[in-house]
Amino acid sequence: MGDKVAMQFESIGFRHKIPRPKWYNPLNKRKGAGISQANLSISEGEIIGLVGTNGAGKTTLLRMISGILPLEEGHAVRNGTPLGIESLRSMVGFMPEQVRWSSQQTIRQTMTEFSRLRGCSIQSALDVLAVVGLKSRVDASLDSLSQGMRQRLSLAVALLGTPEILVLDEPFNGMDPVAIEAFKRLLRSLADKGISIMISSHHLSELDNLIDKIALLHRGQLLAHGSTESLQSSLGFEQMTEIVVDKEIPDSLISSLNVLEHIVNEHEHRYVIESGHHDLLKALIERKFVVSTWRVVPPTLIELLCAATGLDRESIGMEVEQSSMIPLRTIGSEEE
Amino acid sequence: MTPARRMWHLAYALGRERMFSTRMLIMLPILLLFIPGMAWGFADPNLQLPADQLPETATETMFLASIGIVFAGTMAAVIIAHDGISRDRTSGVLEVRLSQPMPRWRQGIVLIFGHWSSIALPVTALLLASMFLVGYRSDMWIPLGDAVVYIVAAMLVLLWYTVFALLASSIAREQGSAIAFSIGLWFLFTLLWVLFTTLLAALNGVAVGDTQDQGYLIFEGRIDLLSPNGVYHHLLETRLDGVERGVSAFGAYAATILWTIVPLYFFQRRLNRLVP
């Protein structure tokens, strides 16, 4: 991950137009939900996970970053210079959530068509197919592709013209676990080559071992943005550790710790404690405990959102039904 | 590769794909029946028409046969282009297209030219065949100037319907609405226009009982400027003698320019604001 900023988005905003017909104007529209005042900085070669619940505005923000939706407020900046929409599009490769590629057209013809739209050579477009593992299917018709292959083709189209930023909207939808792992490895290798990647998901677990930073989105507002550790720290999260041992840990070892959970199964005891207690591990080993699990438990999306917004779980769960944007607490500042 | 060359390749690929599509195969017998079929029929030496209005020149025969373009050619243009954008919107491909750096006005031209060429090329071939049939059957050959105007006018009316269909396709969120809008427009201009004209004439106190009445003909000629089919016929009439429908050749050319520019402008504007 490099420190050089690939692109910055300053106070960008967009509101969807919702049809609101009136008898004197059947085409009347009003402004609906959208993105408000989002600030985002993307460094070279970093992978940012954009997380939020359904309806949080992930797809809208990604479409804005890709130049599909206009920036009604704010602007994209590169090296201190504001970018026009077409320059933005030429620097960003976009992979939508699901593209049902279907026609008698072959992969070769599709790649040729998009290479012309992108302005890159046809040979480079065919080379990209090798990167996503579709080179052997280059003459297959789009109708014959499986869901996973369609996802790969979408990624190949997004990679055309060597974009500096790759924007992926829920790329793991419809993929099996094996394909997800392969896809993650591919994304990591792209990031290692200096391509910045922005990837959205409503499951934090999907982004495990992949992302360098998290951007937390809720009701059209970018609540927090930073590395997982810094975000947890700024949100006041205590790190938690899950321990599974073969027998009950005596009080003498555990009384000074904050035990959040203790579940007894037939052959094991599962504890969740606040982290940072490496002495405990040493003591358990010395006392011949069989420690089958010792892992840091990451916070769930709902826990992060609760911490970031100050809302409780029930209110967060209602969020999808509320389309209007309301001011929410911003990290490091007073509640609005 | 220059942007113009890239646009040409894209439009060529799109036009080729549409020209050899299943729907074109279905439309082809209809086009054959309506375009060369009508020319063959109107070139019959034993032709019987109401009020003994028999064509005296090849240009007049082709004028009568132009009803094939109005009915089948325009319908084919609508059917070819009605899902030009809505199909990609439904499949998600539109989102990928809109994220590409090629300016949207260029993408718009590719869409128009690709769809239009897929119908324009077969229709041009059929028109040339029609002219040959008329010459062969009636021994009256259409002058080159008239033939050029005839083909250019047909290409223009196909272009207008293609743009209407693409515009409808860009507005509709799903394919049903897109085809309903396009076919509805075709229905209005092709089948309902006489009713609309008669109604307006009656409201304006023009005698509507006699369609040969000069007052009605002039009124109808002016109202026809509001219809693409009407402007198409005005263009063809610039090559006919003794036609007086209250619209000069200049009026017909001005209407042609407006019918070309205005829908193109609205389509391009729509494309610039298009969201997936």
Band (pLDDT 50/70/90 cuts) for residue A321 is: very low
Closest Cα in chain A to B11:
A113
The lowest-confidence range among B60-74, B194-208, B212-226 is B194-208
Residue with tokens 């829908």: B263
Band (pLDDT 50/70/90 cuts) for residue A336 is: very low
Average pLDDT of span B117-122: 96
Q: A170 in helix, strand or coil?
A: coil
CA angle A173, A177, A179 (to 5 degrees): 75
Q: Is the pLDDT of residue A217 over 70?
A: yes
Spatial separation of the C-alpha atoms in residues A248 and A76, rounded to whole Å: 56
Spatial separation of the C-alpha atoms in residues A238 and A303, rounded to whole Å: 12
> Inter-chain contact B13–A66, Cβ cutoff 8 Å?
no
Interface predicted TM-score (ipTM) of this complex, two decimals: 0.86
Mutate to test the interface with A, among B9, B12, B100 (most CBs of A within 10 A): B100
Q: Is the pLDDT of residue A327 over 50?
A: no
> Inter-chain contact B95–A63, Cβ cutoff 8 Å?
yes
> Inter-chain contact A105–B17, Cβ cutoff 8 Å?
yes
> Inter-chain contact A96–B95, Cβ cutoff 8 Å?
yes
DSSP H or E segment with residue B112:
helix B104-138
> Inter-chain contact A117–B95, Cβ cutoff 8 Å?
no
H helices of chain B, in order, are 3-19, 22-34, 36-42, 58-65, 67-68, 74-81, 86-91, 93-98, 104-138, 144-171, 175-187, 193-203, 214-223, 228-237, 249-272
Q: A215 in helix, strand or coil?
A: strand
Q: Convert B23-38 to b/e letters by CB count within 10 Å (16 or more is b).
A: ebeebeebbeebbbbb
Distances (CA, A) of A265 to A133, A262, A269, A290, B253: 44, 10, 6, 15, 88
Q: Is B93's Cβ below 8 Å from some Cβ in A?
A: yes
The lowest-confidence range among A121-135, A257-271, A314-328 is A314-328
At residue A136, what are phi and psi to the nearest 5 degrees?
Answer: -75, -15
**What is the model's pLDDT at position A51?**
86
Q: A179 in helix, strand or coil?
A: helix
**What's the N-to-C CA distance of chain B in angstroms?**
28
Average pLDDT of span B136-142: 91
Q: Is the pLDDT of residue A61 over 80?
A: yes
Average pLDDT of span A119-142: 91
Do B221 and B231 contact (CB within 8 A), yes or no?
A: no
Q: Is B103's Cβ below 8 Å from some Cβ in A?
A: yes
Closest Cα in chain B to A16:
B275
Q: Is the pLDDT of residue A223 over 80?
A: yes
At residue A227, what are phi and psi to the nearest 5 degrees?
Answer: -70, 160
What does the pLDDT look like over A70-108, one tens digit per residue?
Answer: 999 999 999 889 999 999 999 999 999 889 998 889 999
**What is the model's pLDDT at position A326?**
46
At residue A49, what are phi and psi to the nearest 5 degrees?
Answer: -95, 120
At residue B188, what are phi and psi to the nearest 5 degrees?
Answer: -60, -50
